[in-house]
Structure formats: structure tokens, C-alpha cells
């Protein structure tokens, strides 16, 4: 399984304003420099600067790396687009709902994974779990070193505070729901 690196698709649909301003605010609230966030997230400083200044449209992988380094759910950057579409190199996810339940935040997505190369996703912050229910297709997902498979009507879950992958197995796209559980650090 390989990750798609030749095609870099933007993570956000056109019109998703404010992500850079929210990123800058979160970074400043955490009291860390742009250079330090770039180091922690393993993302280029120029990429983060462009994101904060609104001149770059990040990939989903970049957003997950940055939010993991800040210890916040991805919706902390996307709050103005409560039903926005986010894209990775192989995953398209539509945010359906955000649930705040005291010390835990949940994000519910509808996701589509077309056949083709796998998407490698960075680790989320400690204690984050992912729960996927497959509606159609055959899914390979979970920790990069031990992914799980699920078909229609099946459910898989894993701790996603480790690098993980998503891929459609075979020639059919996967349609699924994804629930991400973020405990507050």
C-alpha cells in the first residue's frame, strides 16, 4: 500500500475562510512560536505561515498534524463551516456534526474513499480514537503497522494517536461514517 503524494488536493472547499486566523489564535493561546509548531507538527514553517496568512490551502493531513500538535480536534480550525468537506490524498470527509460532551469532543463525518492508493494520516493527540462503520465497499484502515478490514455493515475502531491509514480494497469505493473521539488534553 502506498500513499498518494503526487496529487496534493486542498483540504478545504473553496470559501472556507478563517482557518488561518483560527490557527494563529490557537497557536498563540498555546504560547508557541510558528517555528515550534512546525517542528511539533512535522510541517514546513513556510506551509504554516502560508496557512496562517491565507495564502495556502492545506491538505487534510496537514490540518490533522497541526491540530494534533496543538492538542485540539480538527473542528477547532473549521468551526465556521459546520458541514464542510475536508479532503486528504485519498479520503473525502463531510463533517456532519460536532458534539461537545464535557471532557470529550466528538466529530461525526460521512466519508468516501475511492479505489486507489492508501492515505497515510499522522497521529492525533493522546487518547484519540476513531470508529468507522462501513456502508459499502471494503475498507482497510487503522494503525499503519496493523490495519483492520471491514465490509458493509461492519464496524472497526482503534486508538488513532499513532500513524494510521485508510484505503478502499478492490475496485469499489468505500462509503462509511467516521466518528472521532477527542479527549481534552
- Please give the grid coordinates belonging to residue 129: 480514537
159: closest CA among 176, 183, 134? Answer: 183
Identify the pLDDT of residue 63: 84
> How many Cα atoms within 13 Å fall on the side-chain side of residue 65?
21
pLDDT per residue, tens digit, the chain (185 aa), is: 433 333 444 555 444 457 888 888 889 988 999 999 999 988 999 989 988 888 887 777 788 889 888 888 877 777 554 447 777 888 988 888 888 888 999 999 999 999 999 999 888 889 999 999 999 999 999 999 999 999 999 999 999 999 999 999 999 999 999 999 999 86
Integer angstrom CA distances of residue 166 from 102, 132, 138: 29, 11, 11
Residue 184 backbone phi and psi in degrees, to 5: -70, 135
Mean pLDDT of the chain: 85
Q: How far apart are CA 30 and CA 87, in angstroms?
A: 26
Identify the pLDDT of residue 17: 52
Q: How far apart are CA 97 and CA 99, in angstroms?
A: 6
Residue 31 backbone phi and psi in degrees, to 5: 70, 35
Domains assigned to the chain:
19-78 (1.10.260.40), 85-183 (2.60.120.10)
Q: How far apart are CA 73 and CA 64, in angstroms?
A: 8
pLDDT digits (tens, 9 = 90+) for 56-79: 877 777 888 898 888 888 777 775
Amino acid at each position: 500500500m502506498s500513499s498518494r503524494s503526487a496529487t496534493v488536493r486542498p483540504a478545504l472547499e473553496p470559501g472556507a475562510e478563517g482557518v488561518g486566523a483560527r490557527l494563529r489564535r490557537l497557536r498563540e493561546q498555546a504560547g508557541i512560536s510558528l517555528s515550534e509548531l512546525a517542528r511539533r507538527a512535522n510541517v514546513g514553517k513556510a506551509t504554516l505561515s502560508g496557512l496562517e496568512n491565507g495564502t495556502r490551502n492545506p491538505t487534510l493531513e496537514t490540518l490533522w498534524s497541526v491540530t494534533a500538535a496543538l492538542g485540539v480536534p480538527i473542528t477547532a480550525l473549521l468551526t465556521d463551516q459546520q458541514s464542510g468537506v475536508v479532503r486528504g490524498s485519498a479520503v473525502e470527509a463531510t463533517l456532519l456534526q460536532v458534539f461537545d460532551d464535557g471532557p470529550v469532543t466528538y466529530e461525526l463525518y460521512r466519508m468516501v474513499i475511492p479505489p486507489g492508493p492508501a492515505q497515510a494520516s499522522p497521529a492525533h493527540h493522546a487518547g484519540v480514537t476513531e470508529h468507522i462503520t462501513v456502508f459499502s465497499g471494503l475498507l482497510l484502515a487503522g494503525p499503519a503497522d496493523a490495519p483492520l478490514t471491514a465490509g458493509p455493515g461492519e464496524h472497526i475502531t482503534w486508538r488513532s494517536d499513532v500513524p494510521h491509514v485508510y484505503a478502499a480494497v478492490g475496485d469499489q469505493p468505500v462509503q462509511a461514517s467516521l466518528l472521532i473521539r477527542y479527549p481534552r488534553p
